[in-house]
Structure formats: C-alpha cells, structure tokens
Amino acid sequence: MPQTPQEVLNLIREQDIKIIDLKFIDTPGIWQHCSFYHDQIDESSFADGVPFDGSSIRGWKAINESDMMMVPDPTTAWIDPFMKEKTLSLICSIKEPRTGEFYNRDPRTIAQKAVDYLISTGLGDVAFIGPEAEFFIFDDVRFDQTENKGYYYLDSVEGRWNSGKEEGPNLGYKPRYKEGYFPVPPTDTQQDIRTEMLLTMAECGVPIEKHHHEVATGGQNELGIRFATLVQAADYLMTYKYVIKNVAKKYGKTVTFMPKPLFQDNGSGMHTHQSIWKDGQPLFAGDKYAGLSQMALHYIGGLLKHAPALLAITNPTTNSYKRLVPGFEAPVNLAYSQGNRSASIRIPLSGNNPKAKRLEFRCPDATCNPYLAFAAMLCAGIDGIKNQIDPGEPLDVDIYELSPEELAKVPSTPGSLEGALEALEKDHAFLTDTGVFTEDLIQTWISYKLDKEVNPMRLRPHPYEFALYYDC
C-alpha cells in the first residue's frame, strides 16, 4: 500500500485510475464520501485538502460556515473492490479553510489529538487498540413507524424461529438460541460469505486473522482483525463495516451492527483490547493481578470510574442498552476480572509474552464512532494513571452465585442512553481538560443524542405496550 502522496499519485498513473473516492466520518459515526476525477487530486491535496460543503453533515457547521477541506491520508489508500470503474479510496481528516487548522469536531482529528495527548504526558508514545465487532447477517428486514402503526420484521434462513417453516425443503439445521458459537456447516450456513468478507478486507489493507459464527441464532458473526495504533484501528474498523455490508449486498443479504436486533438472544458488542507502549516496550505487563503492571491497573481504574459517562460515547444508541442487560453474556458489571465475562473489563490470557498483555473493555458496541470511542477510552485510562485510581478488587466469582446483597455492591452500567448522557454531562473533565475533546463537541453530542434519538423514542408507542395495556 502507498505511504506517501507521491506513491499514491504514482499508483493512480500506473493503474490508470480515473476516480478518487474521498471518505470521512460524520459525528454520529457514518462514513460520507465524494468522488473526484483523478486530475482534481495532486500533491497539494494531501497538505491543503480538497474543498467541500460541510453544512449538511450531522453535528457540523451551520450553512453560513459551510466551506470545509478534506485532507486525504496517503497511508489509507486502497482500490475499492465494489466499484465497476477502478476507484481509489482514501480516508480523510477535515480542515477549516479559514484557519488552516484541523476541525475540532472532526472525529478523526480528535482521535489523533488523543494520541498526541498521550505522548505529551510522557506516559507512552503509542496506544494499541484491537476492536472485535460482532454483527448479524439477515435475509430480510422491514420496518416502519407512522402515526397509526409501528413494527419491524427480521428474517434469516438460520433463524431458529424458522424450524417449522415450509422452505421446500426445510433442512432443519438452525442454530439453537444462544448456541450458535460455533457449529460447523451445514448448521453454519455463512462460511463462504464470511471468507469472502475476510479476504476482501485484506485486499483493502486490513490485517486479518479469522472469522467465525457467533452465539446467537439468526446469523450472528464476527471477523477478527489484528490490533493497530489508535487512529489506524478506527480506520480499519470503518473499512471492516464497509466491506462486510457490501459483500453481504452482493449475496442479496443485509448486515446490521445494531446491538440488540433479536429479542431473547445475545446481542452484538465490540470488545475493545487496549494497551500502551513506550520506546517499543509494552507497559501493561507486570507482576500484579493477572500479570498486569501497576500502570495497567490504574488505567482500569480510570475506565471503571468514568464508565457511566464513557458509555454515552462507546454505547451511543438507545438500542445499546437493550444489549447491556444480565443473562446474555453482557458486561453489565463495572468490575475487572481475568475470566469473568460478565465483568466490563477482562484480562485475556497471554501466556508469558509481555507484548500480548492487554485489557479488554467489553462494554462498547459497533454503533459507536470509533475515533471518538477509542479517544475517550484512552483519555479515561490516562486519567486513571495520572491520578493513580484504584480499580478495587477483581470480580473473580461467578456473578450468578452472588447473593442480592453482594451483587448490590457491584456497580453496573447505566440502564439507558439517557442515563449515560446524564453521566457524561456531569463527568467529562477527563475528556476536555486534556484538550482532546472540546466543551462545544460534548454539548453538541449530548444535544444531538437527546433531540434526535432519546426524545423521539419517548414520543412513540411501542408494540409491546399494546400487549400490556390495550385492555386496561
């Protein structure tokens, strides 16, 4: 893959590429793009940027301040495998044309500021992030909401609910609820599509590892990618989502990263592995609990202390909190453990290899904006290190064997997006005092989520309310 602007321009000439597709991310976390004829991109584009109108981008500028510049990163170049005409993809950060400064609401810029902040503290010089994003592949999805009706309908050939359906013929291999992890074909019908997804990601420069079926019935899956530096990990995750959705579309299927699309089965999370290094040396390995260093324990302390506020960014949808409930392997307990998967932070087994020592924050889901989520997690961890926050004792007992009195002593995740946003309103100095997040962005985030998601959900009757209350 190219590393410099000149290498990108050479690739364009050598492969006679006509179209350059510039991608960037909006505040909620959706990729946006604009495609340019190749002669519109030259070496200066990689420094000064390419102009576009930012007034219609969610969470961004007003119409009277709409001019923005997309600045492509040459290290993110890959040829798009889904376009008829050969098209080169480049991921961009955003600049303000009036000042020449990077835009303080651009999520990719914020992610880079988090890395710069880490370096400025002297604690480390690189943060490694390894996201594990789960998703569902469905065969059909329909939903609607009007004044007099509201419904959704999902279907999958793998859905256990189809075990009695006439399919001409129904072959009977349907993963049982909570038992989709991970039987071989023919019960697993999605081997080939996952393989194509994985290999296509590799063509797009994402370092790949594995793929497998996940726990839920109805087509829950996961593809494994290697850890990377913070900004690069977010770039890879966006490419991951783009590739998976478009490969599924080729097969006539649809993908969702929605955390809880199915009632009474496991939801989709994004367990996020993280560690800090300095001068090529891992800093989270030591002689403390589970082979961790004192720095790592303090990092955990920061994550746990700020978790209620952090989840407003790492779990940013109303649906996120339908996943974070007991009984579905969900990490609802704000504690850490080397083996307990109901704890929000797990210490994976890494043998005697200090370079593999890391922690896994299990709360996030892939509806998040990864640039903001990874940056916020790093800021929370650094706050724990700087203030030597004690994470308390690990939760190594079986959570389901605890008495109600013992369980009441274990803090839990917020029960709703509204609760997480209230926590963020009260606790965000760990984000803003660093200079990574601005107060303006935090307030914009809270207002957007309340106005566009929390309050609209409040206004609409739920179908199950009719079952509960219609005859009252």
**Collapsed DSSP state (helix, strand, coil) of residue 408:** coil
Q: Quickly count: other Cβ atoms within 10 Å of residue 43's Cβ.
A: 13
Give the distance, in angstroms, between the CA of residue 227 and the centroid of all CA atoms in the same chain.
Answer: 13
Own/partner pairs, 405-411, CB within 8 angstroms, 24+ separation: 410/333, 410/334, 410/335, 411/304, 411/333, 411/334, 411/335
The pair of three-digit structure tokens given for residue 306, joined into one six-digit string: 């700020």
- 16-38 exposure pattern, b = at least 16 Cβ within 10 A, e = fewer: ebebbbbbbbbbbbeebeebbee
Catalytic residues, by residue number, are: 53, 132, 134, 214, 222, 271, 341, 360, 362
Helices (H), 50-169: 107-121
List the one residue out of 322, 315, 366 whose CA is nearest residue 152: 322
Angle at 41 (CA atoms; ends 40, 45), nearest 5 degrees: 120
CA distance 169 to 16: 49
Integer-rounded Cα Rg, in Å, for the chain is 23
CA distance 187 to 182: 9
